[in-house]
Amino acid sequence: MPYCKQCLNEFSGNNKLKFCSLICTLDHRSVDGCNGCINFTGVPAREYGSVRFRGREIRANRAMWEHHNGPIPKGLVVRHKCDNKRCCNIEHLELGTPNDNVQDAVTRGRHAKGTSMASAKLTENDIKPIRELIAKNIPPRIIGLQFGVSRAAIRHIKDGTSWKHV
């Protein structure tokens, strides 16, 4: 019988496994970080800590939440109060809707905006001249042609729904 590399308990099962449970795997691959975070050092999956256990890939934060609180209800996500995607400290995790998660990102300044968006065709330097043309009552279609964007993109700049950070 193999012994767990983390807790040294004997366990039955596949001899290839080094850990008796998912939590022992997480504990072994986590280190204390700053601000009370416990950072998962295993393989990153889209910036989150991720572990493969018994043939399944599991995010560290989700595994930790389920270990302490049970299954995650359908439609909810595990949110990080600390904004550290690698953290799996249960005290830094909470449930919420995907919309709550987006609101966290907006409130805390973590959401993509401007040129940090992959789909951005304009730059921060384009916005001032566009606003000057808007102020001169140049039609959005003409401004859009000049800058290679749609008239809707120009209208969004005009009404403040995009590029409001500039």
Predicted confidence (pLDDT) per residue in 79-130, tens digit: 999 888 888 899 999 999 999 988 888 788 776 666 656 567 888 889 999 9
42-55 pLDDT per residue, tens: 766 567 777 777 77
Q: For residue 146, is pLDDT > 60?
A: yes
68-88 pLDDT per residue, tens: 999 999 999 999 998 888 888
User: Any idea which residue has 């304009």 for tokens?
Assistant: 122
Structural domain of 61 = 22-107
Residue 132, SS3 per DSSP: helix
7-27 pLDDT per residue, tens: 777 766 665 667 777 777 777
Over the range 16-43, which residues count as b (16 or more CB within 10 Å of their CB) and which as e? ebebbbbbbbbebbbeebeeebbbbebe
Average pLDDT score over residue span 131-151: 93
pLDDT given for residue 40 in this prediction? 82
pTM above 0.75, yes or no: no
pLDDT given for residue 114 in this prediction? 64
- 99 occurs within a structural domain: yes
79 shares a domain with 125: no
102 shares a domain with 37: yes
- 6 occurs within a structural domain: no
Average pLDDT score over residue span 22-39: 78
126 shares a domain with 55: no
Domain count, the chain: 2
Long-range contacts of 1-7 (CB under 8 A, 24+ apart): none
pLDDT given for residue 55 in this prediction? 76
77 shares a domain with 41: yes
Phi then psi for 13, rounded to 5 degrees?
A: 135, -165
**CATH number of the domain that residue 99 is part of:** 3.90.75
